Amino acid sequence: MIDREQVLHVARLARLRLSEEEIEHLTGELSSILDHIEKIGQLDLAGVEPTSHVVALENVLRPDEPVPSLPRETALGQAPDTDGVGFRVPSPGA
Residue 6 as a binder of another protein (CB under 8 A): the answer is yes
Residue 49 as a binder of another protein (CB under 8 A): the answer is yes
d(CA 75, CA 66): 18
Neighbouring CB atoms inside 10 A of 7's CB total 20
- The amino acid present at 84, given as its one-letter code, is G
Backbone angles phi, psi at 67, to 5 degrees: -130, 155
Classified as helix, coil or strand, 82 is: strand
Residue 14 as a binder of another protein (CB under 8 A): the answer is yes
Q: How far is the CB of 15 from another protein (least distance, A)?
A: 5
Binding site for another protein (CB under 8 A): 2, 6-7, 9-11, 13-18, 22, 25-26, 29-30, 32-34, 36-41, 43, 45, 48-55, 57, 60, 62, 70, 74-75, 77-81, 87, 89-94
